[in-house]
């Protein structure tokens, strides 16, 4: 199976190539570091699977996904990203992606995901797959000066308001503490809140704490 990879970090691309080329049935036929390069690689190499990062210097990997499929309709795109957010997953699939994998699991799941996507199936990181199938638990959208909170940020906000630590939230959502710290930072920026009391107030206003006392 012919595979191409797109990531703006050379070290990451090198690591992905090493993982993929170690498999007898996989061959990396092209690399890209931007949306423009990804489209060029797709049109010239016609890979079976394109492993695509979301954060690129000249645009979004979601835009790149749509463009890659436009120039090479037979190519299946597997998004590989640090964003373990259901909103990003939905946007990626709306753009035509066939798979979505979180980078922290790449060393274990990448080869399986590539094979599954190449075989005509969809692949979704397990923790996000469960969230994708679940009904939207958030009773209201919530935002502030910095924008609207994503579904995952609403989950984190609720647990923050209930007093859970970063480590406890990470365990419940199956993500790293660093990822939770990033979500917390985005929540504070978007809502322009300064302390936990304000966070609790905003969570109550959004109805996030109405149903139960524990997450």
pLDDT (0 to 100) of residue 210: 58
Task: Tell me the domains of the chain and their CATH numbers.
Answer: 2-131 (3.40.50.2300), 143-205 (1.10.10.10)
Q: Do residues 83 and 54 lie in contact, with contact meaning Cβ atoms separated by under 8 Å?
A: yes
pLDDT (0 to 100) of residue 16: 94
* Strand-strand pairing, 55-56 and 59-60: antiparallel
pLDDT (0 to 100) of residue 132: 58
Of the candidates 51, 44, 43, which has an alpha carbon nearest to the alpha carbon of residue 4? 51
Report the DSSP beta bridge partners of residue 50.
Answer: 4, 77
CA distance 68 to 192: 38
> What pLDDT tens digit does each residue of the chain (215 aa) get?
999 999 999 999 999 999 999 999 999 999 999 999 999 999 999 999 999 998 899 988 988 999 999 999 999 999 998 877 777 888 888 889 999 998 887 778 899 999 999 999 999 877 676 555 554 444 445 666 677 888 788 888 888 888 899 999 988 887 888 889 999 888 888 888 878 888 888 888 777 775 544 44
pLDDT (0 to 100) of residue 143: 65
**Residues sharing a CB contact under 8 Å with residue 208, sequence separation 6 or more, in sequence order:** 138, 139, 142, 154, 157, 158, 161
pLDDT (0 to 100) of residue 140: 46
């Amino acid at each position: 199976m012919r595979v191409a990879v797109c990531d703006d970090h050379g070290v990451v691309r090198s690591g992905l190539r090493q993982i993929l080329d170690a498999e007898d049935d996989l061959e990396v036929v092209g690399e890209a570091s931007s949306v423009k390069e990804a489209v060029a690689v797709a049109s010239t190499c016609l890979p079976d699977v394109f492993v695509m990062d979301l954060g690129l210097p000249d645009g979004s990997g979601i835009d790149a996904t749509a463009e890659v499929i436009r120039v090479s309709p037979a190519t299946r795109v597997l998004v590989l990203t640090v964003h373990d957010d259901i909103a990003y997953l939905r946007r990626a699939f709306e753009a035509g992606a066939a798979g979505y994998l979180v980078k922290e699991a790449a060393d274990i799941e990448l080869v399986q995901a590539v094979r599954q996507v190449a075989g005509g199936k969809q692949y979704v990181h397990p923790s996000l797959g469960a969230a994708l199938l679940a009904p939207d638990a958030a009773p209201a959208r919530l935002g502030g000066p910095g924008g609207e909170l994503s579904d995952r940020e609403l989950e984190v906000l609720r647990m923050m308001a209930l007093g859970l630590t970063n480590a406890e939230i990470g365990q419940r959502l199956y993500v790293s503490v660093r990822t939770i710290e990033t979500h917390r930072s985005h929540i504070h920026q978007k809502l322009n809140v300064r302390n936990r009391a304000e966070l609790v107030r905003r969570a109550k206003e959004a109805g996030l704490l109405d149903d139960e006392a524990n997450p």
